[in-house]
Structure 1
């Protein structure tokens, strides 16, 4: 498809305080888009907003909170007049054997990655219908192929992929395009946090090439931006992910064989694997749940709104 100019368009990015979301917001702004940032880290969101080239604003909200996200959508429209693009990027991860996993952390991965994406879609689809806009769901290599020690993350990313495909079929005739963005291991706080565990790092590095590499963030986000400009149905952050689609039906069997071999090898060391959320984003999510996130609209903290103004 031909590229659509982003100049003057309004883009919403969740999980925008760091990593993929932060760099995506900067690159969209560099192309002329006005950007609304959503996340759980108000100080970081404020800093990101201050570095953007175009008009921007930020909202401190939990993507799993339907009332808060509905309020955010209303406020974003009031602030910018419309929404052309919404990127459901917010995500967390936890690793380790399922039987030994922290049930709270395991559930939270599903809630943020899957339920949070659906809440984001429900909140912003009405304004996207008005603009005949674009909804981009960030998925993962984990949606294409499963992996041991990542049961919650794989389940959530498979879920968001299916959610986006279903949504595309529902809203396409009304002018809204829906895309799925796939990323392999990309140099973010989440991946670096997972790599702090020796077993998780070694297990990842034992994957077949090219899935065993960590890829730079910049080129991956450039591909996401190009996909947004084209309103693409599928966007691949790394070139080789496109080639995984035709063979994905064979991958569970292959991973099952290889995974069993690796799990036997690591079995004596599995007891020491960390079971909570990983990375700085995971720590922020856990801290927010202890203190309570700031929502939007009538539920928003007036002090936060005053600081932003």
Structure 2
């Protein structure tokens, strides 16, 4: 598929304050795109916007808030005159056994990753129809394969993958392209936060190669930027993820069968010792999400 480029195009990136979103904004700005950055951390968003090449502005918003996202979409359209690309990247994660998870954190992963992506599409899709634009939904290896102690994240990413595939079928005749971006474990605050949990870190290290590695951020985001230029239906941040598509149908039986049972038996003593640990959202992004919600509800 030939590259159409992003020179002069208006690109919206959610979750743009750090990690994949921040670096993607930098790469697209360097290619000549005009950036609308959306996220929960106003100071970080302003720092990113001020450091980008070319035209950029930021909006503070919770992607799960439909009314706020609709307002932001209207303001972005008024500011830039059009919207050509939307990257639904905002996401949070929690880990650990389902019954030990903080219920609010578990639900928040579903709300942000799945319902937040749906709210993003609902807000921006009319503008993309007008521009015959492109929506990229950031999913994960977690959409292809289940994993123990990652129920919320796997469920949310499987959901956004299915949502994007369904949406592609609906809006293709209107000139809108919809893509799904897949990343394995990539060096971000979220992954580093998950690795602070000894059990999760050891469990991940015991996964089969190449799923047990942490991959550098820059080449992963470079692949995503190239996929946006091509308006690709599938974007793979690590080369081997493409091959996972052909075997994904076998993975639930394997992961949920002998491999999963073996690893959970191995982890059981450590999990028992930490049974009283609150398993909330991981990483700096998770902390920012919790802080923003606490401030909104005036929780000290």
SS of residue matched to 2:59: strand
Paired with 1:260 and 1:99, the residues of 2 have a C-alpha distance of 17
Paired with 2:278 and 2:199, the residues of 1 have a C-alpha distance of 10
The Cα of 1:5 is off from its aligned counterpart by 1.9
Number of aligned residue pairs: give it. Answer: 293
SS of residue matched to 2:43: helix
Q: Is the 1:73–1:124 Cα contact (8 Å) retained in structure 2?
A: yes
For residues 218-241 of structure 1, the C-alpha deviation after alignment (integer angstroms, 9 at most, x for no partner) is 000000011000000000000000
The Cα of 1:41 is off from its aligned counterpart by 0.3
RMSD between superposed Cα atoms in Å: 0.8
2:242 is matched with which residue? 242
Gaps of 5+ in 2: none
Q: Is the 1:10–1:83 Cα contact (8 Å) retained in structure 2?
A: yes
SS of residue matched to 2:245: helix
Paired with 1:226 and 1:27, the residues of 2 have a C-alpha distance of 10
SS of residue matched to 2:247: helix
1:218 is matched with which residue? 218
Q: Structure 1's 245 and 65: CA in aligned 2 closer, same or farther, altered over 3 A? A: same
Paired with 2:87 and 2:196, the residues of 1 have a C-alpha distance of 28
Counterparts of residues 157-176 of structure 1 (less than 5 Å):
157-176=157-176
Query: Is residue 137 of structure 2 the alignment partner of residue 137 of structure 1?
Result: yes
1:305 is matched with which residue? none
Query: Is residue 273 of structure 2 the alignment partner of residue 269 of structure 1?
Result: no
Q: Is the 1:15–1:38 Cα contact (8 Å) retained in structure 2?
A: yes
Counterparts of residues 60-209 of structure 1 (less than 5 Å):
60-209=60-209
SS of residue matched to 2:35: strand
TM-score, L = length of structure 1: 0.94
Q: Is the 1:182–1:241 Cα contact (8 Å) retained in structure 2?
A: yes
Q: Is the 1:197–1:274 Cα contact (8 Å) retained in structure 2?
A: no
The Cα of 1:54 is off from its aligned counterpart by 1.1
Residue 278 of structure 1, aligned match among 282, 287, 300: 282
The Cα of 1:292 is off from its aligned counterpart by 1.6
Q: Which has the higher contact order (CA 8 A, sep 6+)?
A: 1
TM-score, L = length of structure 2: 0.97
For residues 18-65 of structure 1, the C-alpha deviation after alignment (integer angstroms, 9 at most, x for no partner) is 000000000000000000000000000000001100100000000000
Q: Is the 1:95–1:274 Cα contact (8 Å) retained in structure 2?
A: no
Paired with 1:78 and 1:270, the residues of 2 have a C-alpha distance of 52
Paired with 1:170 and 1:33, the residues of 2 have a C-alpha distance of 27
Counterparts of residues 282-301 of structure 1 (less than 5 Å):
282-292=286-296
